[in-house]
Amino acid sequence: RLRLHDGKLIKDRRYHLRTYPNCFVAKELTDWLIDHKEAPDRETGIRLMQKLMDHYIIHHVCDEHSDYKDAKLLYRFRKDDGTFPLSKDVKVFMRGQSLYEKLVSVEESILKVREENSVKYQRTFLGCEMIDWLVQEGEVENRKEAVELGRALLEHGIIQHVSNRHHFFDSDILYHFWINFRRRRRLTELLNENSSRALSESPDSPFCLRKLNSDPGNTSFLSVQTNKEIKIVSAVRRSSITSLSGNSNPYFSTASALVFPPVAECNPKSVLKRPVTNEELLSPGAPYIKKTLTIVGDAVGWGFVVRGRRPCHVQAVDPGGPAAAAGMKVVCQFVFSVNGMYVLHLDYQTISSLIMTGPRTLVMEVMEAIE
């Protein structure tokens, strides 16, 4: 958006005796994307701008078109006309970016390279240091508000405990910024994002957490209920999903649009004996232990299902799959982190997406009740 303003592609334009401020012509913008190597061709440029429309970043000036057309039509960034929706997630992200820029631009910043357990970490700070700084700079009114802000930043993946073992506290625990806001991101990265819609459209699909292969056949999972009964849950036929995605590679391309076929409801009943809250899991002296599982995916996936909402739990495990081999159980295991990202505050669709778009070797921390 800023580059388009600088290049005068965004400007006031007159059409049918009416002036539309701060807008651009779609066809001109597609040309600009190709000329500036942001898109290799017009088709990709159109897909990129459609992504921005889907995320409510741009829109047609009269909202007469819900899709992006490569034509002499006028579009506008919502930030230029005040219609950009500021959800809680967006507000927290923008607050984190503002704090990061302020911290890296001052002399004697609290952000420093520090070492813990012989491992060096970039952009680190102590929890109490951050709280002191927030209060001194007038970013918050008191230490309690500073802790709440720190917790929000951690829960949104902006900051993190260096070894991902603690939430945010007013103490000498070491944290670092998980996001480098100064890394220049290319527009084409948008096309590699796996839409969470594809997962939420099929909430009962047992994979969610299975990458796709072209081998025919079904997979069975053991779902352990509270009465210790074992029942077999059949997964959808993976070959049919793969053919829909149009990919012969055993690992589907994240750029492909995944369309899941209708499936029968799987594991509708939670395996938990009772609901458990995040506060209960994290309270001092809670009867839970944390375990780290390193699961190397096979040609099918990782072999387990997650369910639940904040916190999520392991609902089913393939007894012959990678997760079972790594020591995963079914009952009373809550997902604490995925590949170093704290996830207790996320729902199962989001966690599924994180796993699906991550590396083949999955490092997952779970919290398990002490027997």
Listed as own residue / partner, the contacts of 122-126 with beta carbons closer than 8 Å and 24 or more positions apart are: 122/176, 123/176, 123/177, 123/180, 124/162, 124/174, 124/175, 124/176, 125/174, 125/175, 125/176, 126/171, 126/172, 126/173, 126/174, 126/175
- Name the amino acid, one letter, at 325: A
Q: Is 137 a residue whose pLDDT tops 90?
A: yes
Mean pLDDT of 142-166: 91
Tell me what pLDDT residue 165 has: 83
Label residue 288 by pLDDT band (50, 70, 90).
confident
CATH number (3.20.20.105, 3.90.10.10, 3.40.50.300, 1.10.10.10) of 1-77 reads 1.10.10.10
Fold match flag (1-77 vs 278-369): no
In the block, residue with structure tokens 């509270």: 226
Summarised one tens digit per residue, pLDDT across range 221-233 is 444 333 333 333 3
Summarised one tens digit per residue, pLDDT across range 40-94 is 999 999 999 999 998 889 999 998 888 999 999 999 999 888 888 777 888 888 8
Q: Compute the CA torsion angle 224, 225, 227, 231 (nearest 10 deg).
A: -60
Q: What residue segments make up the domains of the chain, in order of their start?
A: 1-77, 88-177, 278-369
**What percent of the chain is modeled with pLDDT above 90?**
32
Residues sharing a CB contact under 8 Å with residue 297, sequence separation 6 or more, in sequence order: 211, 322, 360, 361, 362
Burial of 264 (0-12, 13-18, 19+ CB in 10 A): exposed
Q: Which helix (H) or strand (E) holds 361?
A: strand 361-369
Summarised one tens digit per residue, pLDDT across range 107-119 is 889 999 998 888 8
Distance, in Å, from the CA atom of 4 to the CA atom of 11, rounded to the nearest integer, reads 9
Label residue 192 by pLDDT band (50, 70, 90).
confident
258 and 198 Cβ atoms separated by less than 8 Å: yes
Two tokens, residue 200: 């939420």
Mean pLDDT of 135-148: 94
Evaluate the omega torsion of the peptide bond into residue 311 and state whether it is cis, within 30 degrees of 0: yes
What is the reported pTM?
A: 0.49
Q: Which CATH class is domain 278-369?
A: mainly beta
**CATH architecture of the domain covering 88-177:** Orthogonal Bundle (1.10)
Summarised one tens digit per residue, pLDDT across range 311-332 is 888 888 888 888 888 888 766 7
Tell me what pLDDT residue 243 has: 31
Distance, in Å, from the CA atom of 162 to the CA atom of 164, rounded to the nearest integer, reads 6
Q: Is 12 a residue whose pLDDT tops 90?
A: yes
Q: How many Cβ atoms from other residues are within 10 Å of residue 352's Cβ?
A: 26
Summarised one tens digit per residue, pLDDT across range 248-270 is 333 333 333 333 333 333 444 67
